[in-house]
Structure 1
Amino acid sequence: MKTSELLKSRQFFPFFMTQFFGAMNDNLFKTVILISFTLIAAEQAGAWSNFANMAFVLPFFLFSAKSGYYADQVEKSAWIQKIKLLEIIIMSFGVVCLWFDALWGMVALLFLMGTQSTLFGPVKYSIIPQHVQREDLNTANAWVELGTFLAILVGNIIAGLVFEIETPKLVISILLITFAIIGWFSSRSIPDAPSLAMPDKPVQKHSTWSLIKHAKQNRSVFLSMLGVSWFWFLGAAYLTQLPVYTSQYLSSTESVITMFLVAFSVGIGIGSLLCSLLSAGKVEIGLVPLGALGLSIFGGFLAAIPPITGTELSLGDALASSTHWQVFFMLIGVGISGGLYIVPLYGLIQTRSEESERAQMIAANNILNALFMVMASIFGLVVLAVLKLGLDTFFWCLVVLNLCVAAYIFTLVPEFVARFLVWCLVNIMYRVKHNDLNKVIPEQGPAIIVANHVSFVDALIIGGLVPRPTRFIMFKPIYDMPVLNFIFRALRTIPIDSKTKNPEVYDKAFDSIAKALDNGELIVLFPEGKLTRDGEVDEFKPGLLKILERNTVPVIPMGLQGLWGSFFSHQGGNAMAKLPKRFLSRVALVSGEPVSHHIKSAEPLDLHKLREEVVRLTRQSEK
């Protein structure tokens, strides 16, 4: 589905509007309260602001575990409607506090707003996979990120403008209640999303620590949570210091802050939608290293911008200043990199969490996000107030820390880097097309993909196109090749050798295949057992039948086209022994219908017919 079509669809648009108005209302009221502190109690405004931030964050630690568990047990659209009704009540209470200048009431209100956000957070991301197709998940997440940051921006701008009029309290009251009601009406149109919880599954303890411990059991998901949380650390660190950076480092008025907020928010939106475009209908975690690199590069350029001294500059002066435009574009770059970084991580959390626990995993992620944002505030306090270092040094610290965190996560989960290299191969070295793989690849459950073997990069291209994580069966000498071995190990490729040469590797390979299929994984096999020497599909070896004896799963035939004659094929001599002559070559992956009726009827799979189908697919025009 096209990006614009998804936004307008019945399955997604009501949810998008619900979360957009909720995020905008939250940030409008939070900003109004912070401004009210400076107007009502100017001398103690800093202390009140600290109380307010603590009150808003505290519910994430107290209630996220229970909120995530409950969201997994109930029908989600009805639960969202109740949460939006709660928002109307909270905003009504907030209006009363605002009219009576009740400072402690405002702090209590922020606690309630944090509670409402804690309830909405888990259901926000867990409902999306139930309403959109798998190939649209990245696009949906991109729209949510774009909407969230635009809502934050609009809420902050409205809060700043409304205090310039004569009756700010009246206008604020009307806006808050109106936005809350619009959000509730939008929620009433969200399609049903029934509970996916398993009734007979043991119940986990509903405490913050027990939820985090449970989340750690899924290593890739938990490390993705840390990656998302690190982005919120960076975002909080940059945005918290933006007012001081603008007024003191750049000697500019408060109006210039809005200009920079626009840059960051627009960058996030561009990066999120760009991620959707580059992902080609799947959750492409290969973009995460690209986003992490961009965060450090643009962060470094931002840190290198020299300060401005002298007369305070207005917005008009800033628009004529090359330094301000440098900051503007660097913040756009940081935002774009952030979009490329965070959208695939959210998609990984959604797709690799168990359906019955998806909301709980999102809740665990929210707890970590809140913790990292608190850590960002403490880090800023230590660097700027205790150590008394400058803002440029603070930004350089963020750059170095980001490189260290990225290296740590990518070392623990090398799949991110491997997928990035695969993405570069598929999208830069070749022009790859495929027919709609989502129609033949099951969303979950075991299956075996079989394809012709033309080049050393066949596995990487298939892995880069198939919308699910795959595991490959590969001849051990190829598996052990330098450089490629790193990628193969990161993608959990299963090496195999002949039974006569290496019986231990042979037996271990079939045991690993059986275990992977038992766990519902997707296996890719090249039944020829070797690269073609003449460009033709060789006879299929019986190893596939041995696999099917232990695991009766669907077999999906595929045909690779356009790789014969490439640098990685054996045409004209040994592969990779000659200079590459073809760049941006057209390559296609054509899939056939799954072969499952043989299995269900207990008939042996006909390898000859399967080979003929693969041959047909290698010659079929890609549609």
Structure 2
Amino acid sequence: MAYEDQGHSQFALLRQRRFLPFFVTQCLGAFNDNVFRQAIIGLLFWMQATPTQRTLYAALAPAIFILPYFLFSATAGQIAEKLEKSRLIRITTTMEIAIMSLAALAFALQALPLLLLALFLTGVQSTLFGPVKYSILPAVLRPEELTGGNGLVEMGTSVSILAGMIAGGMIFELAGAHGTLAAGAALVALAVAGNLASRMIPPAGAGAPQLRIRWNPLPETVAVLRLARRQLAVRNAVLGVSWFWFVGTVFATQLPDYAPLVLGGSNTLYVFALALFSIGTGVGSMLCEKLSLRTVEIGLVPLGALGMSAFLLDLYFAQPGAATVSGLDVAGFLRQPGSGRIVLDLTGIGLFAGFFVVPLFALIQSRTPAGELSRVIGALNIQNAGFVVAASLLCLTLRTWAGWSIPQLFLALAVANTLVALWIFSIVPEFAMRFLSWVLVRALYRLRVRGVEQHVPDKGPALLVCNHVSYMDALLLAASIPRPVRFVMYYRIFNIPVMSWIFRTAGAIPIAGAREDPALLQRALDAVDAALAAGELVCIFPEGALTRDGEIATFKSGVERILQRRPVPVVPMALRGMWASMWSRRGAAPGSGRLGRMRVPRRFRARVQVVADAPLDAATATAQTLEAQVRVLRGDAA
């Protein structure tokens, strides 16, 4: 599908002040964090620390960094809710300068306890930054930009983490005797750069400026976790993101041993494997906007989960045993038989991980009220930390006590990922429903959209009216509109087997004529009014039936009854080219009421358009005026 409104991709955000300074700030922060952690490892080798000391650091450092997420995430969510967002980001980057100055002193003194203190404070600063990192996006981006913006953030984070690990590991090799001074100077310089970038972020408002901050972390942790569970879809999106961190932790913690033990490589091969995963994640994150048609398309989540499982499973079969060689560099590994398959698997896992996590973040941001989002992100960070710790302990247990190999861990992870995904999707059928509709729309149509971004309101209630051509109309409109839409449809269509499950899961509202079922009609009008009162989008097909000849039939007065009860803006829309597509009645016998002949392949992958025009005021929007407007929009492209 292509949008004709503006013709820009997510990369256009990198030229806009509302996004670019924030993007640079968060990338520099992720980069600096990983430079710091890898530089500590470099210092241990530079100081010729004993294996016992290195093992002690390897056990302490992750725990020290992640502890603040458990202790302070609830408080951080409240602070991010109360304060203006750009101000809070400047506060956190100023904290980073102070913390990295302390770290620079610790490097100069070669004081490991002081470095661990600085690492703990870095965790505190990251905890405070986490909620505002994701809650600022819906404040500065339009709904149709959320997926692309999140894709950029995830891509930038993945690349920054990888680059930071590489840069931090090279400082002592490049600087030699001056490694401690170089490490400290680099950390402070990066922190200052991040602070300068943060000062360019425009004001973004506070989510809940009147919120009273409660400083006791225990009851507030319980409170924010309950807040994140209030909406079923958000609750399970939070669970999905935490599961992504579980999978990522298992995968990332095993790569350092996977490279030498299974692939027979050196340390450079580990970095190469990590780079493949990180680049795959970045590419997958960036592709989400195009694949989602600039909507919050949670249909990509099942695709991402299944893809991750498939490539994890293939990674096991690609190299299930121990390496028969050792010390391979990247070039030597690539010359080994089967290396291309492993490269593809590592990249594919990251690619589908991007498909999995980006829509989940976008869903959390779009479905959570603005005054609660930062606290929900705080709850997400608490749960993420728990999943990270659980993954680390599980890997340690299975490898140390149960004697599992790393390929066996990856096999178990593939199975567990599939089971968890199926469980989540069974609890919230909306994920599976959107996946099915995503596949159908992209398989059957070549869709273009014009006017939707401009005229469908980003927030608040609106009534959408459109001509009715085929049984696929609702799916096409849902794929074209960034916000969730409640569709009003004829109850006989609503009750079509298989499709009924899709419509019901999407929150469609069945309706009947006054002569057929007056009680159902009244229930439908009540449901429409309740949805509009709740600030939702509702779409109706005022013709009341599928067109039998490709022409627009007379609009019925039901639209006026809706607007009399609830005066909201009315957005006229039109489907163009659908009469020649599959699932229309073109070619059916007159009066048969049946679908026309499919005439595959001529009607397969038909070119169709969704066109929207400026909203009309409820006071002037009659059935007659709306019909005339939709006729103009539809034009001759029936």
TM-score, length of structure 1 as denominator length: 0.95
Q: CA deviation at 1:383?
A: 2.0
1:168 alignment counterpart? 179
Tell me, in whole angstroms, the C-alpha distance in 1 between the residues paired with 2:331 and 2:250.
27
- 1:482 pairs, out of 494, 497, 500, with 497
Structure 1, residues 339-389: CA drift from partner, whole Å, max 9, x if none?
111111111111111111221122111111111111111221232222212
Q: Is the 8 A contact 1:289 1:420 kept in 2?
A: yes
The aligned runs of 1:68-467 (5 Å cut-off) are 68-165=77-174, 166=176, 167-197=178-208, 199=210, 207-306=220-319, 307=321, 308-467=323-482
1:607 alignment counterpart? 623
Tell me, in whole angstroms, the C-alpha distance in 1 between the residues paired with 2:508 and 2:523.
13
1:618 alignment counterpart? 634
Q: CA deviation at 1:209?
A: 1.5
User: Secondary structure of 1:472's match?
Assistant: strand
- 1:29 pairs, out of 24, 36, 51, with 36
Structure 1, residues 495-516: CA drift from partner, whole Å, max 9, x if none?
1223443344323222211211
Which amino acid in structure 1 is aligned with residue 95 of structure 2?
Answer: L
Q: CA deviation at 1:198?
A: 6.0
Tell me, in whole angstroms, the C-alpha distance in 2 between the residues paired with 1:129 and 1:136.
9
Tell me, in whole angstroms, the C-alpha distance in 2 between the residues paired with 1:60 and 1:620.
59
Q: Is the 8 A contact 1:267 1:336 kept in 2?
A: yes
Q: Is the 8 A contact 1:205 1:211 kept in 2?
A: no
Tell me, in whole angstroms, the C-alpha distance in 2 between the residues paired with 1:204 and 1:490.
40
Which amino acid in structure 2 is aligned with residue 345 of structure 1?
Answer: L
Change beyond 3 A, Cα 1:391–1:196: closer
Q: CA deviation at 1:433?
A: 0.8
Tell me, in whole angstroms, the C-alpha distance in 2 between the residues paired with 1:398 and 1:88.
39
Range with bigger deviation, 311-320 or 246-255: 311-320
1:578 alignment counterpart? 597
User: Secondary structure of 1:43's match?
Assistant: helix
Change beyond 3 A, Cα 1:230–1:294: same
Q: Is the 8 A contact 1:419 1:464 kept in 2?
A: no
The aligned runs of 1:441-590 (5 Å cut-off) are 441-573=456-588, 574-576=593-595, 578-581=597-600, 582-590=603-611
Q: Is the 8 A contact 1:292 1:337 kept in 2?
A: yes
Change beyond 3 A, Cα 1:585–1:11: same
Q: CA deviation at 1:196?
A: 3.3
Which amino acid in structure 2 is aligned with residue 506 of structure 1?
Answer: L
Q: Is the 8 A contact 1:268 1:339 kept in 2?
A: yes
Tell me, in whole angstroms, the C-alpha distance in 2 between the residues paired with 1:115 and 1:28.
17
User: Secondary structure of 1:564's match?
Assistant: helix
Structure 1, residues 193-235: CA drift from partner, whole Å, max 9, x if none?
1213263899898611111011111221121111111111111
Correspondence 1:5 to 2:12: yes
Range with bigger deviation, 572-581 or 387-396: 572-581
Tell me, in whole angstroms, the C-alpha distance in 2 between the residues paired with 1:277 and 1:323.
32
Tell me, in whole angstroms, the C-alpha distance in 1 between the residues paired with 2:596 and 2:244.
43
Change beyond 3 A, Cα 1:533–1:247: same
2:4 alignment counterpart? none
Correspondence 1:53 to 2:62: yes
Change beyond 3 A, Cα 1:620–1:350: farther
Change beyond 3 A, Cα 1:620–1:357: farther
User: Secondary structure of 2:456's match?
Assistant: coil
Which amino acid in structure 2 is aligned with residue 271 of structure 1?
Answer: G
Q: CA deviation at 1:577?
A: 6.2
Tell me, in whole angstroms, the C-alpha distance in 2 between the residues paired with 1:578 and 1:258.
56
Which amino acid in structure 2 is aligned with residue 45 of structure 1?
Answer: R
Change beyond 3 A, Cα 1:384–1:219: same
Tell me, in whole angstroms, the C-alpha distance in 2 between the residues paired with 1:288 and 1:385.
33
Change beyond 3 A, Cα 1:538–1:27: same
Tell me, in whole angstroms, the C-alpha distance in 2 between the residues paired with 1:41 and 1:122.
39
Q: CA deviation at 1:4?
A: 2.9
Change beyond 3 A, Cα 1:577–1:4: closer
Change beyond 3 A, Cα 1:621–1:2: farther
Q: Is the 8 A contact 1:463 1:470 kept in 2?
A: yes
Q: CA deviation at 1:80?
A: 1.0
- 1:64 pairs, out of 61, 73, 82, with 73
Tell me, in whole angstroms, the C-alpha distance in 2 between the residues paired with 1:567 and 1:151.
46
Which amino acid in structure 1 is aligned with residue 132 of structure 2?
Answer: V
Tell me, in whole angstroms, the C-alpha distance in 1 between the residues paired with 2:215 and 2:492.
45
User: Secondary structure of 2:580's match?
Assistant: coil
Change beyond 3 A, Cα 1:452–1:411: same
Q: CA deviation at 1:576?
A: 4.5
Structure 1, residues 381-413: CA drift from partner, whole Å, max 9, x if none?
232222212211111111111111111111122
Q: CA deviation at 1:122?
A: 0.7
Q: CA deviation at 1:42?
A: 2.1
Which amino acid in structure 2 is aligned with residue 531 of structure 1?
Answer: L
1:591 alignment counterpart? 612
Stretches of structure 1 lacking an aligned partner (at least 5 in a row): none
Tell me, in whole angstroms, the C-alpha distance in 1 between the residues paired with 2:238 and 2:42.
33
Two-structure CA RMSD over aligned residues (Å): 2.0
Q: Is the 8 A contact 2:612 2:633 kept in 1?
A: yes
Tell me, in whole angstroms, the C-alpha distance in 1 between the residues paired with 2:428 and 2:172.
49
Structure 1, residues 114-153: CA drift from partner, whole Å, max 9, x if none?
1000011111111122223332222221111111111111
TM-score, length of structure 2 as denominator length: 0.93
Q: CA deviation at 1:612?
A: 1.4
Q: CA deviation at 1:607?
A: 1.3
Which amino acid in structure 2 is aligned with residue 583 of structure 1?
Answer: F
Q: CA deviation at 1:52?
A: 1.4
Q: Is the 8 A contact 1:300 1:399 kept in 2?
A: yes
Which amino acid in structure 2 is aligned with residue 25 of structure 1?
Answer: N
Change beyond 3 A, Cα 1:161–1:205: closer
Change beyond 3 A, Cα 1:183–1:608: same
Which amino acid in structure 1 is aligned with residue 179 of structure 2?
Answer: P
Tell me, in whole angstroms, the C-alpha distance in 1 between the residues paired with 2:278 and 2:431.
26
Tell me, in whole angstroms, the C-alpha distance in 1 between the residues paired with 2:494 and 2:250.
43
Tell me, in whole angstroms, the C-alpha distance in 2 between the residues paired with 1:343 and 1:619.
38
Range with bigger deviation, 8-17 or 304-313: 304-313
2:5 alignment counterpart? none
Which amino acid in structure 2 is aligned with residue 174 of structure 1?
Answer: A
Q: Is the 8 A contact 1:267 1:334 kept in 2?
A: yes
Question: What count of residue pairs does the alignment treat as equivalent?
Answer: 617
User: Secondary structure of 1:355's match?
Assistant: coil
Q: Is the 8 A contact 2:83 2:209 kept in 1?
A: no
Range with bigger deviation, 392-401 or 373-382: 373-382
Tell me, in whole angstroms, the C-alpha distance in 2 between the residues paired with 1:22 and 1:523.
42
Q: CA deviation at 1:312?
A: 3.3
User: Secondary structure of 1:449's match?
Assistant: strand
